[in-house]
A and B are shown apart, each in its own frame.
Chain A
Amino acid sequence: MAAPFDLKDDSVVVVIGTGAGGGVLANELAQKGVSVVALEAGGRYLPEDYVNDEWESFGQLAWLEPRTTSGDWRVAKDFSGLPAWIVKAVGGTSIHWAGASLRFQEHEWKARTTYGNVPGANLLDWPIDGAEMAPWYEKAEAKLGVTRTGDRPGLPGNNNYKVLEAGAKALGYKEVSTGRMAINSIDYDERMPCQQTGFCFQGCKWGAKWSSAYTDIPRGEATGNLEVRDRCHVLRIEHGDDGRVTGVVYADRDGVEQFQAAKVVCVAGNSIESPRLLLNSASSMFPDGLANSSGQVGRNYMRHTTGSVYAVFPEPVRMWRGTTMAGIVQDEARHDPSRGFVGGYEFETLSLGLPFMAAFLDPGAWGREFTSALDGYENMAGLWIVGEDMPQETNRVTLNTEVKDDFGMPVPNVNFDDHPNDVAMRNHAYGRGEALYRAVGATRVFPTPPYPSTHNLGTNRMSENPRDGVVNAHGQSHDVPNLFVSDGSQFTSGAAENPTLTIVALAIRQADHIASELAKGNI
């Protein structure tokens, strides 16, 4: 089916990683007739392989290679080797994701201008805005089949949603719905509607939720222009004397090193692996790492200001039944500094199964205070806080040269400290979340700390001025013209919204740019 390309074929575009960013980019390029080799560290898993079991699924799909952590975030203490929850598979974290698909608000593209000088924050405006992105968002929503956009109806509300909705209305919130979800409410694009199985985080066995694993990837392969090589782990990117990249070195499925030549290289390994790869590609010409003349590679790591609120009620809720995240309250997403912080946050329904609840409700806790909470599991409702966090130069991915992976490469260290704005926002959200559930009769409420990061952003950020960031408005390296960044690490700021719709919209836009520049002979 897919055309195999020769290792020496230097006319191909190499895409590293096949998740939300890389998977979409690879397909979009292939649809335009561009030859693409996509290298993916993980294996292939399709809906029939996914399992409705939290730990088993985690073992099947998660990126479990060694990583280290530092900083004052609680994850560094409770999950010191697991800073992030990311998938290693063809399709990447789009297999695990919950499907919440929101556009940025207009002011969020201009964080520095809107929020002003926030001490300690390395805020910057994006070099693009909502008007520029609107058509790309529309294409992304159509690709993902986002509910409540186009003429696609919303999903029905499950038990967890009904509790959220009742509490939100009692507090006077107005913007409450089952959200904009990349989960079919009706048959769409050859995928069936959601069956409310409730294991969205473990991969949708019905294919009702969009994932690049079973949409963009096979469609790209069907063109004959895309070859996906799974279990191929890229170790570094090489360049010539002219400073242009020439290809990538990877370990194939047998652990043998190979060199794939390339005309263009696009990095989409998610925001920890992408900067790690650039830093591991340092050379005598680029001693601080590839594309790093600004010194910003790996910096400004963002993970959203998150946290959860779980509440126990006198009667059963059974929150695990049905879609995990189809419920949202958006009234707090606005920018309103009178609350004591800049930026805003969303409340979204969230449910964990009993095994994950035991691990994440209050990591490290034990005794009756903890177990009596779990005894109330059947009567629990839950929501997730997702808000804008401040980019900080010292929140960064660096190479930990003391720890090496199986290929002898330094592993990434993720350093993170909460900014005072993050803390103020989280505390505000805990308070409102508690009030929301108390308003419908909660007898006990748990302000639950953030999990290992599911949203990883900002470590190769976009900037107008090459001094301030790593890539330009098209995700193209300021330093190396045939090197692109195609994942969430491009984010200049995080906004309050779940990031994937924006990652996909940027990938579609980037594919358009790369194809036309290639056609014009500009890269």
Chain B
Amino acid sequence: MTSHPRTRGLTRRALLSHAVATVATVTVGANFICAPDAAWALEVTVLKPETMATLILMARDIYPHDRLGDEYYAAAVKGYDAAEEAEAVEAGIAALDAAAAGAGYAAYAAVPWEADRVAILRGMEASPFFQKVRGGLVTGLYNQKEVWPLFGYEGESYSKGGYIKRGFDDIAWL
């Protein structure tokens, strides 16, 4: 069983095991998931909606950026909602939930602290499923043009004439 430095006692764990999903950002519907404020929604056709919701949370836990909304993580993993991926993904998420259960939680998505979820992920870091999800995120998340401005990165510059007149040497604090 995974050792679990952050769990502090049966009472809290028992309580948590009754919580459905402690993650506030994603609600699960019939065959789609959406943000609580309805800012975005993602239809799932093959995967169980709960599976997709957990996958999105897993993606955030692997590459957590507090300034990025869930929609970017959803966009990064939505390709797994495909017939040829479904079996492996359902199995991978089931394994994740089983690891969470082993640590005393109802499901991975019911683990309230990121550090506790990360401890569960560390335990399955070597698995092909984890490595596939992590590897896919490197481009799936960071190659979304929409996330670049949130890191300050400006992307393409040729059409704007480069930076020769737009601050290539504007550093002021040195």
- A-side interface residues toward B, CB under 8 Å? 51-53, 55, 156-159, 162-163, 166, 194-199, 205-206, 313-318, 320-322, 353-355, 357-359, 364, 366-368, 370-371, 374-375, 377-378, 440
Contacts and interface: CB of A to CB of B under 8 A. Distances in A.
Given A321-B163, A354-B151, A198 B171 contact: no
Nearest to B173: A315
A206 B167 CA distance: 18
30 contacts: A52-B155, A53-B155, A156-B168, A158-B168, A162-B169, A166-B174, A195-B162, A195-B164, A196-B162, A196-B163, A196-B164, A198-B157, A313-B173, A318-B167, A318-B170, A321-B154, A322-B162, A322-B169, A353-B153, A354-B147, A354-B148, A354-B151, A355-B139, A364-B134, A371-B63, A371-B65, A374-B142, A375-B151, A378-B151, A378-B153
Interface residues of B, number: 35
Main SS at interface, chain B: loop
B169 A157 contact: yes
Main SS at interface, chain A: loop
Contacts of A440: 174
Given A196-B163, A196-B164, A375-B151, A52 B158 contact: yes
Given A166-B174, A197-B158, 17 more contacts: A53-B156, A158-B168, A159-B170, A195-B161, A197-B162, A318-B170, A320-B154, A321-B154, A355-B143, A358-B141, A358-B142, A359-B138, A359-B142, A367-B62, A371-B63, A378-B151, A378-B153
B154 A317 contact: no
Nearest to B62: A366
B168 A322 contact: yes
A374 B153 CA distance: 11
A315 B174 CA distance: 9
Interface of B: 61-65, 67, 118, 134, 138-139, 141-143, 147-148, 151-158, 161-164, 166-171, 173-174
Nearest to A375: B65
B163 A322 contact: yes
A334 to B, nearest CB: 27
Contacts of B174: 162-163, 166, 440
A195 B62 CA distance: 38
A211 to B, nearest CB: 16
A467 B102 CA distance: 65
A55 B155 CA distance: 12
A287 to B, nearest CB: 41
A140 B171 CA distance: 34
Among all A-B residue pairs, the 9 with the closest Cβ atoms = A378-B152, A195-B162, A197-B162, A322-B168, A358-B142, A52-B156, A196-B168, A354-B153, A321-B163
